[in-house]
């Protein structure tokens, strides 16, 4: 059965994103991340290329595990400086008609009541093109700067996330009935109070008695993304998400990951085929295969080992400065480092990685394909014509 492929671009409001060192390349434009034209140009390019959406990553905190400081991350612009992604959405929506926007926002550090209003506002301004990538945050530096001694335990953060979403669902879906907004000029009545309800939420983490401050937006609930790789994260995605972002470097691992998410979704009473899976894939293009390969080799020459190690150390919580660049990691058995190795592994499960190879894999965006530009679009990777993404509205879940 033929199925339509979905294309999501991946970026971050910072320098370099997941390719530490590439900012120094003479053709790199990511240093312009602070200029509005950079983002509006990108949005127009993606819409012209028939992309479904732009997925914008974010992080709150700096990568300060490597050598016990944030110096390496700061020197190499490893996701610092980083600006807030929310402000990018409205101007990009203004210059496009169809492009969707997946906004990464952590629910660990902001109350759901004002946050629900922010997303409703964006859904209005984009006319129903906003999505939310739900994250619980992972950097200790972010937690400390917001007054916490340390991050909450991993699985407990997802318990917190479930109640957070419950509050948001009540605000988005349950507070304003259809037909609550009258705009009746004759009677001078804008909204019908009998159709607008307090949510009266009382839970373990939140107490929210009142109504949602926004009238219903085009989607009410935005498209929900999730990118957790842990068992608890995949369970959360299977129960709540419409789109799941993964980074499987091989078909074998991707098939296993997708099957696991779809199985969990079916067990949760959802149609597993309605969950869209987006896998990270970097494509280097050129007029010929040889030119594409030469471009890739050129990019690799800008890889920053220090920047990549700062990023991996922050992700795993393990200080990679303890290891020599060419030291095999086969004797390391911590789950965190094993996860880092698996993130860049090939289909060969017996390959032994070194920190240097991990750095190269990361700065090369892990899963890279080089290809020449075809004269005609391939039906396996492009659309012959535009079709607006069939994003569905989330509904209040049955508990």
Q: What is the pLDDT of residues 174-219, one digit of tens each?
A: 999 999 999 999 999 999 999 999 999 999 999 999 999 999 999 9
Domain-located, residue 380: no
| pTM of the predicted model as reported, rounded to 2 decimal places | 0.84
CA neighbours closer than 13 Å in the CB half-sphere of residue 277? 20
Residues 15 and 100 in one domain: yes
Q: Is residue 48 domain-shared with residue 81, that is, in the same domain?
A: yes
Question: Domain boundary at 230, 248, 281, which?
Answer: 281
Q: What is the 3-state secondary structure (H, E, C) of the chain?
A: CCCCCCCEEEEECECCCCCCCHHHCCCCCHHHCCCHHHHHHHHHHHHHCCCCEEEEECCCCCCCCHHHCCHHHHHCCCCCCECCCHHHHHHHHHCCCCCEEEEEEECCCCCHHHHHHHHHHHHHHCCCCEEEEEECCCCHHHHHHCCCCCCCCHHHHHHHHHHHHHHHHHHHHHCECCCCEEEECCCCEEECHHHECCCCEECCCCEECCCCCCCCCCCCCCEEEECCCCHHHHHHHHHHCCEEEECCCCHHHHHHHHHHHHHHHHHCCCCHHHCEEEECCEEEEECCHHHHHHHHHHHHCCCCHHHHHHHHHHHHCCCHHHCCCCCCCCCCCCHHHHHHHHHCCCCCCCCCCCHHHHHHHHHCCCCEEEEECCCCCCCCCCCCCCCCCCCCCCCCCCC
Q: Does 166 lie in the same domain as 86? A: yes
Domain range holding 298? 289-369
Q: Do 134 and 273 share a domain, yes or no?
A: yes
Does some domain include residue 381?
A: no
- Please give the tally of structural domains in the chain: 2
- pLDDT surpasses 60 at 91: yes
Does 111 map to a domain? yes
Q: What phi, psi does 105 have (nearest 5°)?
A: -145, 130
130 close to 101: Cβ distance less than 8 angstroms: yes
Whether residues 227 and 336 share a domain: the answer is no
Q: For residues 172 and 310, state if they share a domain.
A: no
- Mean pLDDT, residues 150-169: 81
- Are the CB atoms for 257 and 246 separated by under 8 Å? yes
Greater model confidence, 129 or 392: 129
- 114 and 189 both lie in a single domain: yes
Asked whether residue 379 is assigned to any structural domain, the reply reads: no
Q: What is the pLDDT of residues 291-343, one digit of tens each?
A: 888 888 898 888 899 999 998 888 878 888 988 888 887 655 445 455 555 55
Residue 1 lies in a domain: no
Same domain, 81 and 224: yes
Same domain, yes or no: 298 and 180 = no
- Residues 182 and 40 occupy one common structural domain: yes
Q: Are residues 214 and 239 in the same domain?
A: yes
Residue 389 reports pLDDT greater than 50: no
pLDDT in tens, 298-312: 988 888 999 999 988
What sign for the dihedral angle of Cα 250, 252, 256, 259?
Answer: positive
Asked if residue 182 is part of any domain, the answer here is: yes
Instruction: Out of 264, 281, 298, pick the residue that ends a domain.
Output: 281
User: 85 vs 34, 141, 391, CA distance in Å?
Assistant: 11, 19, 22
- Phi, then psi, of 100 in degrees rounded to 5: -90, 165
Q: Note whether 190 and 51 are same-domain residues.
A: yes
Contacts of 151 (CB under 8 A, 6+ apart): 137, 138, 139, 140, 143, 157
Q: At 202, which CATH number?
A: 3.20.20.30
* Residue 367 structure tokens: 């899963």
Reading the block at residue 126, the tokens are: 């984009």
- Binned at pLDDT 50, 70 and 90, residue 387 comes out as very low
Q: Is 229 within the bounds of a domain? A: yes
Give domain status of residue 397, yes or no: no
- Unique residue bearing structure tokens 């911590």: 334
CA angle 327, 328, 332 (to 5 degrees): 110
């Amino acid at each position: 059965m033929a199925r339509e492929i979905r294309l999501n671009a991946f970026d971050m409001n910072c320098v370099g994103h997941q390719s530490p060192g590439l900012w120094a390349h003479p053709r790199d434009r990511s240093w312009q991340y602070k200029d509005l034209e950079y983002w509006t140009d990108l949005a127009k390019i993606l819409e012209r290329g028939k992309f479904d959406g732009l997925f914008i990553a974010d992080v709150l905190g700096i990568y300060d595990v490597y050598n016990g400081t944030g110096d390496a991350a700061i020197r190499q612009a490893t996701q610092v400086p980083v600006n807030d992604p929310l402000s990018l959405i409205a101007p990009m929506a203004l210059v496009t008609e169809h492009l969707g926007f997946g906004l990464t926002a952590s629910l660990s550090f902001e109350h759901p009541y004002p946050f629900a209003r922010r997303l409703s506002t964006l859904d209005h301004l984009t006319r129903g093109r906003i999505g939310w990538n739900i994250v619980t945050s992972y950097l200790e530096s972010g937690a400390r700067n917001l007054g916490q001694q340390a991050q909450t335990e991993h699985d407990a953060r997802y318990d917190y996330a479930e109640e957070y979403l419950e509050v948001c669902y009540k605000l988005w879906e349950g507070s304003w009935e259809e037909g609550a907004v009258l705009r009746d000029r004759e009677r001078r009545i804008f909204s019908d109070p009998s159709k607008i309800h307090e949510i009266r939420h009382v839970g373990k983490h939140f107490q929210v008695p009142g109504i949602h401050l926004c009238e219903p937006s085009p989607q009410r609930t935005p498209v929900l993304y999730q990118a957790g790789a842990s068992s608890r994260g995949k369970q959360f995605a299977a129960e709540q998400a419409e789109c799941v972002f993964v980074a499987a470097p091989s078909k074998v691992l991707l098939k296993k990951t997708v099957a696991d998410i779809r199985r969990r979704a079916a067990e949760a009473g959802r149609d597993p085929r309605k969950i869209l899976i987006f896998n990270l894939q970097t494509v280097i293009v050129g007029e010929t295969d040889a030119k594409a390969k030469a471009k890739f080799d050129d990019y690799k020459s800008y890889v920053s080992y220090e920047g990549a190690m700062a990023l991996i150390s922050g992700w795993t919580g393990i200080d990679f400065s303890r290891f020599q660049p060419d030291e095999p990691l086969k004797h390391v058995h911590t789950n965190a480092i094993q996860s880092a190795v698996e993130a860049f592994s090939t289909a060969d499960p017996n390959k032994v990685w070194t920190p240097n190879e991990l750095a190269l894999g990361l700065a090369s965006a892990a899963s890279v394909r080089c290809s020449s530009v075809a004269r005609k679009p391939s039906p396996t990777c492009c659309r012959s014509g535009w079709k607006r993404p069939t994003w569905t509205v989330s509904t209040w879940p049955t508990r």
